[in-house]
């Protein structure tokens, strides 16, 4: 019977269930009054009619924290547990028939001042239980007292209401905690997504700069190779001419050393003809001074550097409109757009283009005769 009594205790009022007993969707039981108290504490702002909530709402089961959703009938829409009610009736009948009246006198505490007197009244003024002799002759004779049972019922009801209120407050706090956790997850996810987008934008900017660097490098390399090929070809011409002249000089020295006049004359005649023909040939080309310079490929990135350093995130539309109204020049407006971070990569100021590749021609090449 003691084990059965424990199963019939309401988790709110800590008493045996009173009719009617309602069964929650999680299969736990409550007194209807206790269920209604928890419901009102969890939904303090819902409209009431005659002390009863007249619209739907929700609360949590005090046993398992399962959320119970009610319709417009409130707790009166919950199903009664007739089986538990019948068991309670049988238990009460069995308790009254098989057990004598409870000897509560043995368990009742005794007065500390009058050891033979039981505590049977409550001093309202001092807020403590006491005995009748203390009221008549003792320290509580001038105090206001009340029956112990009535104060017991009142304070038990207050405690039950306080527990129900705390349960409702805990539910609201748990809901706020869940919302804050969800907000933290949303902030983390949004931060990761925005950082990924920023990295993609900068990667695109890096790619554009790499393409422009490659294009300009190819232009410089093309002119470099063209000038080198021209100078190398001219160098080979000079080397060939030098080799021919050197051979003539060697032949002339050998002819000068010939002691026989007849042999000398036979050899000198054709040699003189070759020397004369060589002197009549067109002179070789001569490179103009400064032909080796590549300074015309100088670039200036001061404007682009300022634009890149002012890159920022997009601000509110109202701020952008105010800046557009205050801008006086088209170039300043374009710089502000880049500074706000809203411009595309293609909108950046173009890099300084190099001058056209100079081609060697009679105007850039001097010959020995003109010099």
- pLDDT tens-place string over residues 13-32: 778 887 667 777 888 888 88
Q: Among 209-218, 275-284, 317-326, where is mean pLDDT lowest? A: 317-326
Residue 209, pLDDT above cutoff 90: yes
How confident is the model at residue 333, as a pLDDT? 46
CA distance 28 to 20: 14
How confident is the model at residue 204, as a pLDDT? 94
Structural domain boundaries in the chain: 1-45+55-96, 156-281
Mean pLDDT over each residue of the chain, to the nearest integer: 77
Cβ-contact 135, 148 below 8 angstroms: no
Residue 10, pLDDT above cutoff 90: no
- Cβ neighbours of residue 332 closer than 8 Å, sequence gap 6 or more: none
CA distance 109 to 247: 142
The widest CA-to-CA distance across the chain, in whole angstroms, is 176
Residue 143, pLDDT above cutoff 70: yes
C-alpha to C-alpha distances, 165 to 22, 117, 264, 275, nearest whole angstrom: 20, 38, 138, 125
Cβ-contact 290, 331 below 8 angstroms: no
- Cβ neighbours of residue 4 closer than 8 Å, sequence gap 6 or more: 87, 91
Residues 207-231, mean pLDDT to the nearest whole number? 94
CA distance 231 to 360: 10
Which pairs count as long-range contacts for 166-175, CB under 8 Å and 24+ apart, including other chains?
167/38, 167/41, 167/42, 167/59, 167/60, 167/62, 168/38, 168/41, 168/42, 168/43, 168/44, 168/59, 169/41, 171/42, 171/59, 171/60, 172/42
Where residue 198 falls among pLDDT bands split at 50, 70, 90? very high
* Residue of higher predicted confidence among 322 and 73: 73
For the domain with range 1-45+55-96, which CATH number is right: 3.30.565.10, 3.30.70.580, 3.30.40.10, 3.40.50.970?
A: 3.30.40.10
Residue 60, classed as helix, strand or coil, is: strand
How confident is the model at residue 194, as a pLDDT? 93
Q: Which range scores top for mean pLDDT: 50-64, 99-113, 172-186?
A: 172-186
Residue 91, pLDDT above cutoff 70: yes
Among 210, 221, 208, which Cα is nearest to 354's? 221
* Residue of higher predicted confidence among 93 and 302: 302
Cβ-contact 61, 24 below 8 angstroms: yes
Among 366, 202, 225, which Cα is nearest to 287's? 366
CA distance 237 to 137: 143
Residue 267, pLDDT above cutoff 70: yes
Token pair of 221 as six digits: 């390399």
Q: Among 233-237, 356-360, 364-368, where is mean pLDDT lowest? A: 364-368
Where residue 212 falls among pLDDT bands split at 50, 70, 90? very high
Q: 79 phi and psi, to 5 degrees?
A: -80, 140
CA distance 159 to 153: 10
Q: What is the CA radius of gyration of the chain?
A: 55
Angle at 336 between CA 318 and CA 329, to 5 degrees: 105
pTM > 0.75: yes or no: no
């Amino acid at each position: 019977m003691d084990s059965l009594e424990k199963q019939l205790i309401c988790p709110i009022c800590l008493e045996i269930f009173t009719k009617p007993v309602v069964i929650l969707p999680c299969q736990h039981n409550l007194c209807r009054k206790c269920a209604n108290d928890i419901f009102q504490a969890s939904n303090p702002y819902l409209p009431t009619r005659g002390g009863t909530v007249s619209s739907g709402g929700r609360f949590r089961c005090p046993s398992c924290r399962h959320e119970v959703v009610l319709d417009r009938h409130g707790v009166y829409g919950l199903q009664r547990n007739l089986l538990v009610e019948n068991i309670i009736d049988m238990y009460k009948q069995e308790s009254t028939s098989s057990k004598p009246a409870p000897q509560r006198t043995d368990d009742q505490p005794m007065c500390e001042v009058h050891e033979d007197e039981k505590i049977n009244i409550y001093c309202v003024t001092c807020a403590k239980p006491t005995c009748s002799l203390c009221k008549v002759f003792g320290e509580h004779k001038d105090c206001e007292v009340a029956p112990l049972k009535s104060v017991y019922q009142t304070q038990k009801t207050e405690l039950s209401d306080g527990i129900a209120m705390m349960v409702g407050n805990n539910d609201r706090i748990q809901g706020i905690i869940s919302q804050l956790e969800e907000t933290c997850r949303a902030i983390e996810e949004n931060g990761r997504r925005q950082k990924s987008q920023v990295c993609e934008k900068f990667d695109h900017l890096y790619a554009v700069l790499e393409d422009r660097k490659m294009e300009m490098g190819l232009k410089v390399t093309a002119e470099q190779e063209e000038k080198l090929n021209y100078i190398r070809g001219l160098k080979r011409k000079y080397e060939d001419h030098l080799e021919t002249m050197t051979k003539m000089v060697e032949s002339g020295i050998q002819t000068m050393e010939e002691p026989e006049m007849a042999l000398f004359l036979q050899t000198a005649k054709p040699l003189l003809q070759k020397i004369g023909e060589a002197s009549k040939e067109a002179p070789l080309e001569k490179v103009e001074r400064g032909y080796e310079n590549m300074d015309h490929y100088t670039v200036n990135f001061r404007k682009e550097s300022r634009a890149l350093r002012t890159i920022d995130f997009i601000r509110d539309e109202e701020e952008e409109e105010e800046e557009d109204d205050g801008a006086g020049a088209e170039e300043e407006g374009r710089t502000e757009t880049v500074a706000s971070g809203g411009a595309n990569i293609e909108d950046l100021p173009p890099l300084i283009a190099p001058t056209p590749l100079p081609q060697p021609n009679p105007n850039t090449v001097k010959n020995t005769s003109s010099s």
